[in-house]
Amino acid sequence: MQSFRTELENPIVEEEILELEKRIRAFKEGKESDDKFKSLRLARGVYGQRQAGVQMVRIKLPFGRVTSEQLHKICNVSDEYSRGRLHITTRQDIQIHHVSLERTPQLWEELAKDDVTIREACGNTVRNVTASPTAGIDVNEPFDVSAYARATFQFFLRNPICQEMGRKFKISFSSSEEDTALSYIHDLGFIAKLKDGKRGFKVVLGGGLGSQPRHADELYDFIEAKKIIELIEGVIRVFDRYGERSKRMKARMKFLIKEIGKDAFMKLVEEQKTALSGVVPKFETEKYEAAPPLQDVTVPAVKIDDDEAFKTWKSTNVIPQKQQGLFAIGIRVSLGDFYTPEARKLADLIKKYAGNEMRFTLRQDILLRHVREEFLPFFYTELKKLGFAEAGYNKTVDITACPGTDTCNLGIASSTGIAAVLEDLLKEEYPHFVNGRDITIKISGCMNACGQHNMAEIGFQGMTVKSGKSVAPALQVLLGGGQFGDGKGRFADKVIKIPSKRGPHAFRRLLNDFEKESGEGERFTEYYERQGKTYFYDLLKDLSDTSKLSQDEFIDWGHDAPYIKAIGVGECAGVVIDLIATLLFESEEKIDNAKTALQRKSWADSIYHSYTSIVNSAKALLLAEDVKTNTQAGIISQFDELFVQTGKIELSTSFKEFAYQMNENEPGETFANKYLEDAHLFLKRVDAYRTKEVQDA
């Protein structure tokens, strides 16, 4: 494998790319373990695929925003390093698949030239910061949240407090009380509010999906906008220190909140105040809030062939902006997949005829912004040529689905296959749902809920079902979920499990019954709650009978061969297997990071690197004693008990006081230098103790 040189203006990004290339080389040469390397590549957006030898690369796009130039660069990268397909995720990212691991540094370098990153798009980090796709143009918003989402993204990218957490951390910003960024399923959710003329947010804490969904708690009815970074920093510091690290399925923040309670959690957050960086980012509100200058171009003359189709499209896909005379255009992207030829033409359209901006949405769609009213017929005809003018944006036919068994290691049954079938069924048999009542339909290939199935009004989760000695693909049917606005929602109930090939039959029954039994204007969630879970179980019960499955029912959607259950090891937030030598080596790396941060005069960053070095060093000795270490707080307590109180390691104070010095000292140059020296001396002491133990063994 040949090394390469980068040509970037940003020295930090350049150094990271060179480091990735070096570590890939070491891994390929057998000089670095898979577990250690996995942590690094995941934090660089490089994720193992179901198919051996290739990677999925996730491109991190804060609040889904992309310009023409950036989209062209993403297309170039996809064509050069992948297969020309772009996949929009439910976190407003773009994923490309089938990428060779050795070429990921070059891929990253190309993206970085246009201010696009893959850093921390996967792994135990702060994931992409999402926001309402209509932020900045929403007629109901008190203000544009884009600048606040951007500042949050920038502050926590590469921040040492969130590089190696027990699990991933998700943040959203909703532009209005409609809560279109789904705050209640996030670790931290922010909803824009005005109070006494001041900008601020309602804040919710501790939400999440997965196998055990949890509704976020209301934390503040209102907090001033200028205080949100400080709040997030405190929350993440506590999660990093007290969050579970051994039991992966219990490591999300929602479990920590559930275990100790919101009040106890926030008390710990309050204790972090002295140690906080004290940085108040500049929120570039002017950059996002004004409509961009539009090119002085003449609207091209077009002829609309079907006026009714055009009117339907305008009624479902065109959104009036708060900027007078401007409109947004929603593009429904089936399964979130589109291709580079069409993407390039979209990029050219927004560059010449709109505001040079689009946003990817949480329903895996595209929203073009800043289109003048007289340009709508032209856009309709151009989008129609690209296959992007189908009506039904944000309507029932707009089905959400994760990649499932197509590429994901954890996929159990095909989510994209059943999604395509249901979309066709809706268009052919229920066309009135395209521009009528909206029922959200979401599908995941496994319990991890990347397709958000357990918050949908109708959800499906990939599973298996036994029939004799054979296994067939199945769907768990979930009903009654809903998003009610202002941080409130309802999770769907698991109603019944059926073979996958019976999914369309179940879907027909549900829609037919809804049309027949629901009241005028009644939402599906209301209808479900009125009828009750047992009613729907009885409605679908006969479809769950697996005593006589047909041969076709052993074949999953989109496949030709009989189903084989094949689940790999998931990497959604892979937990690194720590070895003693690796931990001590990482402690040295963190001390080097602390020194580098000192040179940049980033006192808070340096202090946190020193802290993590101290914790890592302590963890190494505990691991040598076969002591379980599932939280940082637990490490500190156990090290005191087993090493300091017994006199095996001599300290002038307790280990707790030694490690938590940063809670008592404001970040500054003097303390940062002292704490770095303490961390270095502690590592030497631990290393000497470990060396003696090995020699005496």
pLDDT of residue 578: 38
Query: What is the tens place of the pLDDT at every residue in 76-95?
Result: 999 999 999 999 999 999 99
pLDDT exceeds 80 at position 9: no
Same domain, 277 and 298: no
Within-domain flag for 461: yes
234 and 195, same domain (yes or no): yes
The verdict on 315 and 359 lying in the same domain is: yes
Asked if residues 81 and 101 have their Cβ atoms less than 8 Å apart, the reply is no
- Mean pLDDT of the 380-395 span: 95
Which among 342, 362, 385 is the end of a domain?
385
Q: In this structure, is residue 117 part of a structural domain?
A: no
Closest Cα partner for 129 from 143, 147, 112?
A: 147
Domain count, the chain: 5
The residues near 534 (Cβ < 8 Å, ≥ 6 apart) are none
**pLDDT of residue 47 exceeding 90:** no
Which alpha helices (H) appear in 84-185, and where do they start and end? 104-112, 146-156
Same domain assignment for residues 137 and 279: yes
> Is 572 a domain residue?
no
> Which pLDDT tens digit goes with each residue over 107-127?
999 999 999 999 999 989 999
Q: Does 589 lie in the same domain as 516?
A: no
Instruction: Read off the tokens for 38.
Output: 């996995």
Last residue of one domain, picked from the residues 353, 385, 417: 385
Q: Report the chain's mean pLDDT, rounded to a whole number.
A: 91
Question: Where is 47: in which H helix or E strand?
Answer: strand 46-48
174 closest CA partner among 131, 203, 137, 139: 131
Q: Which residue has the higher pLDDT, 275 or 697?
A: 275
* 442 and 546 in a common domain: yes
Instruction: Give the best-scoring range by mean pLDDT among 173-177, 459-463, 638-642.
Output: 173-177
Q: Is 70 left (phi over 0), alpha (psi -120 to 50) or beta?
A: alpha
| pLDDT at residue number 576 | 34
**β-bridge pairing 130-131 and 171-174:** parallel
What is d(CA 145, CA 289) in angstroms, rounded to the nearest whole number? 9
Rounded Cα distance, 267 and 260, in Å: 11
Predicted TM-score (pTM) of the model is 0.90
Nearest to residue 45, comparing CAs of 159, 157, 182? 157
In a domain, residue 562? The reply is no
pLDDT interval class at 577 (50, 70, 90): very low
CATH number at residue 679: 1.20.120.330
Whether 168 and 267 map to the same domain: the answer is yes
On whether both 212 and 343 belong to a single domain, the answer is no
Measure CA 425 to chain center. Answer: 30
Is 394 inside a domain boundary?
Answer: no
Residues 6+ apart with CB under 8 A from 31: none
Q: Quick check: is 511 in a domain?
A: yes
Question: What mean pLDDT is predicted for residues 574-603?
Answer: 78
Structure-token pair, residue 645: 């109180």
Helix axes 376-385, 340-353, angle to 10 degrees: 170
Domain that holds residue 661: 580-696
- The reported pLDDT for the residue numbered 643 is 94
Helix (H, G, I), strand (E, B) or coil at 66: strand
Q: Are strands 94-99 and 65-66 parallel, antiparallel or unpaired?
A: unpaired
Q: What is the pLDDT of residues 286-343, one digit of tens each?
A: 888 877 888 889 999 999 999 999 999 999 999 999 999 999 999 999 989 999 999 9
Q: What is the mean pLDDT of residues 548-565?
A: 84
CA–CA distance, 247 with 628 (Å, rounded to integer): 11
CATH code at 457?
3.30.413.10
For 316, the token pair is 């479902």
Question: Residue 229 falls within a domain, yes or no?
Answer: yes
Mean pLDDT across 525-552? 95
413/309 same-domain check: no
**Residue 454: which residues within 8 A CB-CB, separation 6 or more?**
209, 213, 461, 478, 481, 491, 492
Q: Which of 379, 381, 336, 334 is nearest to 355 (CA)?
A: 379
Q: Could you tell me if 179 and 313 lie in one domain?
A: no
In a domain, 357, yes or no: yes
Please tell me whether residues 527 and 410 are part of one structural domain: yes
What is the predicted pLDDT for the residue at 390?
A: 93
* Whole-number pLDDT of residue 210: 87
Q: Calculate mean pLDDT across residues 204-208.
A: 97
- CATH number assigned to the domain comprising residue 336: 3.90.480.20
Last residue of some domain: 385, 419, 453?
Answer: 385
The pair phi, psi for residue 648, each rounded to 5°, is -70, -35
Residue 272 confidence (pLDDT): 94
Residues 276 and 207 in one domain: yes
